[in-house]
A and B are shown apart, each in its own frame.
Chain A
Amino acid sequence: DVVLTQSPLSLPVTLGQAASISCRSSQSLVFIDGNAYLNWFQQRPGQSPRRLIYKVSNRDSGVPDRFSGSGSGTDFTLKISRVEAEDVGVYYCMQGTHWPPYTFGQGTKLEIK
Chain B
Amino acid sequence: EVQLVESGGDLVQPGGSLRLSCAASGFSLSSYWMSWVRHAPGKGLEWVANIKQDGSEKNYMDSVKGRFTISRDNTKNSLYLQMNNLRADDTAVYFCVRDRGGGSYRTFDSWGQGTPVTVSS
A residues whose Cβ falls under 8 Å from a Cβ of B: 31, 33, 35, 37, 39, 41, 43, 48-51, 54-55, 92, 94, 96-97, 99-107
Chain B residues lying within 8 Å of A100, measured Cβ to Cβ, are: 47, 50, 59-61
Q: How many residues of B contact A (CB 8 A)?
A: 24
Q: Is A33 within 8 A of B104, CB to CB?
A: yes
Q: Is B108 within 8 A of A51, CB to CB?
A: yes
B residues whose Cβ falls under 8 Å from a Cβ of A: 35, 37, 44-47, 50, 59-62, 95, 100-101, 104-109, 111-114
Q: Is A48 within 8 A of B107, CB to CB?
A: no
19 contacts between A and B (CB under 8 A): A35-B104, A37-B106, A39-B107, A48-B114, A50-B111, A51-B108, A55-B105, A92-B44, A100-B47, A100-B50, A100-B59, A101-B59, A101-B61, A101-B62, A102-B50, A102-B101, A102-B108, A104-B45, A105-B44
Q: Is A96 within 8 A of B45, CB to CB?
A: no
Q: Is B108 within 8 A of A39, CB to CB?
A: yes
Chain A residues lying within 8 Å of B108, measured Cβ to Cβ, are: 39, 41, 49, 51, 94, 102
Q: Is B107 within 8 A of A107, CB to CB?
A: no
Q: Is A48 within 8 A of B45, CB to CB?
A: no
Q: Determine how close the nearest CB of chain B comes to the CB of A67; give it in whole angstroms.
A: 16
Q: Determine how close the nearest CB of chain A comes to the CB of B48; give it in whole angstroms.
A: 9
For A96, give its contact among B95, B101, B111, B114 (CB under 8 Å).
B101
For A31, give its contact among B47, B95, B106 (CB under 8 Å).
B106
Closest 9 CB pairs of A and B: A96-B106, A100-B59, A37-B106, A102-B47, A48-B111, A107-B44, A104-B45, A54-B107, A39-B107
